[in-house]
Amino acid sequence: MLGAIVGDLAAWTYENDKERFYSSLTTKEALLSPFGKTAYETAVWSLDRKEGELIHLCPEKHWGPLVHADNLIRCATLAWTTDIPFNLFESDFGIFYDDKEGWYAGRIIVELINGLHHGKTKKGVLQHGMGETFQSLKSGWEWKIIKPDQGLLIYLMRAWDCFEKSWDFTSAIHNAAKWENVDRHLLCCLTGALAEAMYGCEFNFLKKKYGGSSTIVYPASLEKNAWRIQEHQFKSRFFFPKNSARTNVEKQNWTVFPNAFEGRVFTVERGERILRAFYTGWDDRYGFYLDDGWIYVDRSFVLLARFRLIRNGESYTLVNVQRSQEKPDCAEVAIEEALYSSSHLA
């Protein structure tokens, strides 16, 4: 939910204060565009929604290739809470009436975000359903060429490209902000929505030589609800996101090593505890986070090991155990300690 809002604030910051954009991504002075307002209002509505309440849509007065962009953003925002957000709209004409591109874009972005939110990889969400359709369309369209009548699918293809080439939330937004001759706010909103579903967006995240990490800042008028949304999303998470761990934006070298964990089997309940993980602290110093199919083990913002957790019916199997070059002798202890912490922390 927050990703589109942060993306929009970042677009304003890029256009008005590039120095702050590259150091902190957003600024308290940033203003929401109409797209950002739509994302914000939809997210707050979803938190406060009463049973049976719907979003009433009025027909647009003006036609054009982006006439339903607001509804695409609504779909992206609501994809966090349901895989069928279209049922939450009330309209006599349908949310993408007379817009075939919009119809496809809406269903595609919902499936992509829902899949990423549940822990699927970038490749995994493109291998079936509307994701597979999207991959097929993307391979046959000239979506990189700027055209005056570019529609919502073109924007979604560009947003996916910005996300696909990223390694964290901040780098995805940087990729989107650099596009010229486009509606930068729309592109950053869509990119932010996709990137947050995998990475989270609690922090601005830079390589150490550029300043490290800092908490995402919001204008004062948005702060209270932004933290409400953040808290709701974290409580309903399926895995601990990379961004909240604040590590691994540096390049790593990984090696297989003899260990006691390869092939270890866990119950579904135990596997889900590992995936959901926890914030590290004084008593539980080693943590897990999921990033594009790998579970990473970290301590004090340093990466120590990684592995994959494969679901097999009613169990999970731990495979592909590797250690990083930073502190290779600590890898086995790190995994053991993080597994212990995940067994007693919710």
Quick one: CA dihedral 132, 135, 139, 141, positive or negative? positive
pLDDT at 209: 60
Instruction: Tell me the pTM.
Output: 0.94
Residue spans of the chain under pLDDT 50: 61-62
Segments making up each domain of the chain, as ranges: 2-235, 242-344
Quick one: CA dihedral 140, 145, 147, 152, positive or negative? positive
Q: How far apart are CA 139 and CA 22, in angstroms?
A: 32
75, 40 in Cβ contact below 8 A? no
pLDDT at 93: 65
CATH class of the structural domain 2-235: mainly alpha
Q: How far apart are CA 136 and CA 49, in angstroms?
A: 36
pLDDT at 62: 46
Residue 43: how many other CB atoms lie within 10 Å: 25
Q: How far apart are CA 298 and CA 306, in angstroms?
A: 9
pLDDT at 95: 76
pLDDT at 87: 81
pLDDT at 208: 65
